[in-house]
């Protein structure tokens, strides 16, 4: 990745990846002024009790979804680096790519519970954060511990295009047309 590149990072289990992930990524790229988005397929989420499907399966499925989108990439960086927590991932990425401008991307449901993540204050201080609304999560996310704590650093949705070039602890919340698709629902229906 070349210096000055604005890269959005969408981390998660992707168990399985679906069109909702693709929609969020393409919207985030456009709305947050990013050059590309990388899906960081996690070896496993430390906050979830059940282990995901094999990493190789999830990576293959994610690459299949992003194949036709040259500005979207899929990576197993966390598995190769031996990390699972977002703080550690960001710290290592910033070390390995010091002149790349990273933006952490998440759905509103993650912002709601962000204060449960390890070193969440440090994550906000380290990297700008782009939040994409999900069905039923808008108000809970905007009233969350993290949103209240970092309220004064919130970039308005009308200025969302500035986020990719912003410095932490800047964050932005955007609304997009919703997809009700979720990995949990796909697994529950036995389609994965």
- Of residues 117, 107, 104, the one with CA closest to residue 9: 104
Look at phi and psi of residue 136 and say left if phi exceeds 0, alpha if psi is from -120 to 50, else beta: left
- Of residues 61, 93, 101, 97, the one with CA closest to residue 77: 93
Res 187 pLDDT > 50: no
d(CA 52, CA 44): 6
d(CA 54, CA 34): 30
Q: Six-digit token pair at 29?
A: 């790229």
Res 183 pLDDT > 60: no
pLDDT at 189: 53
**Mean pLDDT within 176-191:** 56
pLDDT at 38: 97
pLDDT at 157: 95
CATH number 3.90.1150.150 is the correct assignment for the domain at 6-188: no
Please state the domain extents for the chain: 6-188
pLDDT at 186: 45
To which H or E segment does residue 126 belong? helix 120-126
Q: Six-digit token pair at 129?
A: 């954060």
Where is average pLDDT lowest: 60-69, 117-126, 150-159?
60-69
Q: Which of 24-33, 39-48, 62-71, 173-182 has the highest mean pLDDT?
A: 24-33
Q: Which of 77-81, 135-139, 173-177 has the highest mean pLDDT?
A: 77-81
Q: Six-digit token pair at 158?
A: 């009308």
What are residue 131's phi and psi, to 5 degrees? -115, 130
DSSP sequence for 132-163: E--TTTHHHHHTSHHHHHTGGGEEPGGGGGGG
Task: Summarize pLDDT for 100-114 with one digit per residue, the tens.
Answer: 999 999 999 899 999
DSSP β-bridge partners for residue 41:
12
d(CA 42, CA 40): 6
Task: Summarize pLDDT for 69-95 with one digit per residue, the tens.
Answer: 999 999 999 999 999 899 999 999 999
Q: Six-digit token pair at 22?
A: 């693709």
pLDDT at 135: 64
Q: How high does pLDDT run on average in the chain?
A: 88
Q: Classify 17 as helix, strand or coil.
A: coil
Quick one: what percent of the chain has pLDDT higher than 90? 68
pLDDT at 11: 93
pLDDT at 125: 97
Other beta carbons within 10 angstroms of residue 98's beta carbon come to: 8
pLDDT at 17: 86
pLDDT band at residue 138 using 50, 70 and 90 as cut-offs: confident
């Amino acid at each position: 990745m070349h210096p000055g590149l604005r890269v959005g990072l969408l981390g998660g289990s992707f168990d399985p990846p679906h069109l909702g992930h693709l929609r969020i990524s393409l919207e985030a790229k456009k709305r947050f002024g990013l050059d590309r988005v990388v899906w960081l397929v996690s070896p496993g989420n430390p906050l979830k009790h059940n282990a995901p499907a094999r990493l190789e399966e999830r990576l293959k499925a994610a690459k299949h979804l992003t194949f036709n989108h040259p500005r979207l990439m899929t990576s197993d960086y966390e598995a190769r680096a031996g990390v699972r927590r977002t703080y550690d991932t960001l710290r290592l990425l910033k070390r390995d790519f010091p002149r790349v401008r990273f933006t952490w991307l998440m759905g509103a449901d993650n912002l709601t519970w962000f204060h449960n993540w390890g070193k969440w204050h440090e994550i906000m201080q380290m990297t700008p954060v782009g939040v994409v609304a999900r069905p039923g999560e808008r108000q809970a996310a905007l009233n969350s511990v993290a949103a209240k704590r970092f309220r004064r650093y919130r970039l308005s949705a009308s200025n969302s295009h500035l986020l990719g070039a912003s410095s932490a602890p800047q964050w932005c919340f955007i609304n997009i047309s919703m997809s009700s698709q979720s990995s949990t629902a796909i697994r529950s229906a036995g389609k994965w």
